[in-house]
Structure 1
Amino acid sequence: MLPTASKLLMINNFGISLGFYMVLPFLATYLRGDLGFSVAFVGIVLGLRTFSQQGLFLVGGTLADRWGPRATIITGCALRIAAFGLYATTDSAVGVVTATVAIGVAGAIFSPAVRTYLMRESDTDRAEVFSVYNVFGNAGALVGPLLGAALLSVDFRLIAAIAAAVFAVLTAAQLIALPRQPRIEHHDSVVGSWGLVLRNRRFLIFTLGGCAYFALFNQLYLALPIEAERVTGNPQSVSVVFVVSTVLGIGLQMPVTAVARRLLRPGSAAGLGVGLMGAAFVPLAVSAPILDTAAESRPIAGWLTLLWPVILTTAVFSIGIALANPYIMELLGVVGEDRLSGTYYGWFYLVSAVASLVVGSVVGRALDITEPSWRALPFVVLAAVGAVGSAIVAEMTRRNLLQEQSVTARS
């Protein structure tokens, strides 16, 4: 049974995903169509959102340790009230950029803090807690775009205003109902705590393997949509990827975690999940050289015949995510220490962001190759990334490096 504070954060995650996905999927269309900005400007805006969030996770994690996760969560949510409110009230380039960066900074602030709060709230069964957290997030990610699409015919600014209202309700609920956790004293400086993390070899090796998870996860927005549109010639086919992924994420997350808890060690579950995410791209490595690129949009009736490799990959990929994510989150608390849990999360996400950028760049260039004989290359690369990440985590598990140790041993 989840503590009351954890239940509130589950609802909070649903609301965060709901508000975010009401707006962000439609932002590019709004900026390009309604406001008339160039494609280059839209690309820069979307890139700034990702960079400002992933690049500042370390700052957010450090704040969670120094301020306490409760204050940091509330600060991040309050910042998103202002960010989405700015979307609703401005159409200038400066206003749009400011709002977008603020959304990213807010995510960088509250995301590590929420995970730190949940980890400190749950001494045991942390993977199950993170599983429930993922289910609520996926539910918000499913409902958000549907609600946004329904309101888009009225006005994008209305969507942004409703999203701001959602974050206002969340912030108020946290101020009123989210309990303070016992304050942890820090006798070292911020730089000193960073140095302690970077001297933790177990953490560094685990991060090297675990960052493959995020490098692969980002292909949900790159390789899979691009391949779906390539074979069908229709951008609407991309929705199939997200529907399959979200529905399976909601339906399978808890059962997969429960089965893994019974049958596998946490390290084995995390390693197997990352390996499964990589192996999921094997069907595309086989089918991509065979299936032609659509010269024009093909009818919806023929999509399933063309999309079955993408659907199969997405399904296996989603099972891998459901298996890997909760145990990676749990193990970060094992290879780190509670006193600096936010800082450990921050460093992990920062390294993962760099890995995602590198892998995304390589895969993106490979996806640009049009010769049929080379179409398998990006998917072979992704399968290899999964295999390497899985092997690192599996080897740490074999050597018992993913077991609880004393704080002294960790340091």
Structure 2
Amino acid sequence: MTAGRTGLRGDAPGLTAYIRLLTGTQFAFNIGFYAVLPYLAAHLGDGLGMAGWLVGLVLGLRTFSQQGLFVVGGALTDRYGPRPVVLAGCVLRIAGFCWLAQAGSTATVIGAVLLIGFAAALFSPAVESETARAAVAHERATGAPRARVLAVFSAAGQAGAFLGPLLGTLLLLLGGGFRAACLAGAVVFVGVLAGHARLMPRRPRTVPEPGGRAVFCREVFANRPFLLLCLAYSTYLVSYNQLYLALPAEVERATGSQNALGVLFALSSLLVVAAQLPLTRWSAHRIAPRTALVAGLAVVAAGFAAVPLVPGGPAGLLPGATLVVLLTLGQMLLVPAARGLVPDLVEDHRLGLATGALSSVSGLAVLLGSAASGTLLDAPGPVLWTVLAAVPLAGAGLALALPGRTPVRPEAGI
């Protein structure tokens, strides 16, 4: 790889066909997902008339049914291989989006949201654990840091996250409404299902290990370094979830509507697409993963702390834009580092379970944190943003207790 090729295409040629399939999967997944999710809170509040705390609870339930049940998808991936788990997740996601398009009551919305979340709980840990495993194999074969493969994966996902809101916004502007966005997301997953049914390789089933609950407890609660990683990562996910709760409230407060929300999501995605690979290339060679995790959480905290301090600026969006930029920069530092640490802390044959557990612990934290932050939305601004900033700061403190690892020396020409 030559110096100066800093984009996604510049890093992709050295990757295997299987890694390309996994990154393409993440790209398509996020197009369908983000065509719907940024507009869910407004649909629940304005379209269905839900109270703020109930909106926060529904969003938390969606995250918990996804992140909280990742451990199920991870365990099934270890047992049956990624292919059947990915295909089942696609089928459930299609059904969930179609149901959400028709849901008109609190009970039916919650049912559809839970189904959508559980679909991702099957789909995502299968893809993410396979990507982590492939990244470690690529590192051993080529000497390139595994964080680089994980950064390509993240950048591909963010490219999809950039296009998804644009698709949703286009459908809303054309008068299709939230229902059209849901159906468009379902169509995207029909394509993902067809592609993976054809291209994803089969893997022999493994013999189930006795004592499933005991294995889970041993891998998570008795593995102190991994538990610390789970807790630190939880504070990031609680913070990231504020893009769907606190940020829409801030945009509406500043501008009187949520019309600019898609622009801010696009800003986040473009920043990742443009800067993820150069930033990860720099950090993977020069700082330890633990340092990247701590620094990323500190930058996320700075984003929340800056909101009440930054003047309104053009159209009143400067505080919200500052939050998005700093949260995204922190995300770019910490996510590849956190995912790259997992294979070092658990055995390879439990990588699916560990990947799922990382998100499950985080999902439980988001369920509790979303309801609490939904209640705080009516609090004075300095109180709200100070509390939100304290969460990732606490995570940075936990991450400092993780075992360090010597960073790889820079390659010639990088």
TM-score by length of 2: 0.82
1:280 aligned counterpart, secondary structure: helix
Confirm whether residue 226 of structure 1 aligns to residue 249 of structure 2. yes
1:179 aligned counterpart, secondary structure: coil
Cα 1:394/1:329, change in 2 over 3 Å: same
- Say which of 332, 337, 344 aligns to 1:322: 332
Q: Is the 8 A contact 2:283 2:292 kept in 1?
A: yes
Q: CA deviation at 1:320?
A: 0.8
Q: CA deviation at 1:257?
A: 0.6
1:148 alignment counterpart: 168
2:231 alignment counterpart: 208
Cα 1:9/1:382, change in 2 over 3 Å: same
Aligned positions of 1:255-274 closer than 5 A: 255-274=278-297
Q: CA deviation at 1:27?
A: 5.0
Cα 1:367/1:165, change in 2 over 3 Å: closer
Q: Is the 8 A contact 1:269 1:324 kept in 2?
A: yes
Q: Is the 8 A contact 2:288 2:407 kept in 1?
A: no
CA offsets per residue over residues 161-205 of structure 1, 9 Å max, x none? 443332122112112111234654443332232132121112112
Q: Is the 8 A contact 2:64 2:360 kept in 1?
A: no
Q: Which amino acid aligns with 2:166?
A: L
1:298 alignment counterpart: none
- Say which of 190, 197, 202 aligns to 1:168: 190
Cα 1:204/1:402, change in 2 over 3 Å: farther
Q: Which amino acid aligns with 2:345?
A: V
Q: Is the 8 A contact 2:71 2:356 kept in 1?
A: yes
Gaps of 5+ in 2: 1-13, 140-144, 409-414
- Say which of 253, 270, 273 aligns to 1:250: 273
CA offsets per residue over residues 202-235 of structure 1, 9 Å max, x none? 2112222222211221122233332333233343
CA offsets per residue over residues 35-83 of structure 1, 9 Å max, x none? x744359847655433322332221221111222222112111222233
Cα 1:166/1:189, change in 2 over 3 Å: same
Cα 1:28/1:217, change in 2 over 3 Å: closer
Q: CA deviation at 1:391?
A: 2.5
Of 243-252 and 155-164, more deviation after overlay is shown by: 155-164
Q: Which amino acid aligns with 1:150?
A: L
Separation of aligned partners in 2, 1:183 and 1:176 = 19
2:391 aligned counterpart, secondary structure: helix
1:353 alignment counterpart: 363
Separation of aligned partners in 1, 2:346 and 2:292 = 19
Cα 1:191/1:249, change in 2 over 3 Å: same
Separation of aligned partners in 2, 1:357 and 1:32 = 18
CA offsets per residue over residues 293-332 of structure 1, 9 Å max, x none? xxxxxxxxx8527432332232122111111111111112
Confirm whether residue 179 of structure 1 aligns to residue 212 of structure 2. no
Identity score, percent = 36
2:156 alignment counterpart: 136
1:235 aligned counterpart, secondary structure: coil
Separation of aligned partners in 2, 1:221 and 1:321 = 16
Separation of aligned partners in 2, 1:395 and 1:32 = 41
Cα 1:140/1:258, change in 2 over 3 Å: same
Q: CA deviation at 1:29?
A: 6.1
CA offsets per residue over residues 245-290 of structure 1, 9 Å max, x none? 2221221111111110121111111121111111222322434xxx
Separation of aligned partners in 1, 2:192 and 2:378 = 42
2:388 alignment counterpart: 382
Cα 1:13/1:52, change in 2 over 3 Å: same
Q: Which amino acid aligns with 2:317?
A: L
1:407 alignment counterpart: none
Separation of aligned partners in 2, 1:402 and 1:336 = 20
Confirm whether residue 10 of structure 1 aligns to residue 23 of structure 2. yes
Count of equivalent residues: 382
2:401 alignment counterpart: 395
Q: Is the 8 A contact 1:273 1:320 kept in 2?
A: yes
Confirm whether residue 195 of structure 1 aligns to residue 201 of structure 2. no
Q: Is the 8 A contact 1:267 1:393 kept in 2?
A: yes
Separation of aligned partners in 2, 1:337 and 1:189 = 17
1:304 alignment counterpart: 314
1:199 aligned counterpart, secondary structure: coil
Separation of aligned partners in 2, 1:92 and 1:386 = 36
Q: CA deviation at 1:357?
A: 3.5
TM-score by length of 1: 0.82
Cα 1:111/1:232, change in 2 over 3 Å: same
Larger RCO of the pair (alpha carbons < 8 Å, separation 6+)? 2
RMSD (CA atoms)? 3.0
Q: Which amino acid aligns with 2:157?
A: G
Q: Is the 8 A contact 1:225 1:241 kept in 2?
A: no
Q: Is the 8 A contact 1:61 1:109 kept in 2?
A: yes
Cα 1:236/1:29, change in 2 over 3 Å: closer
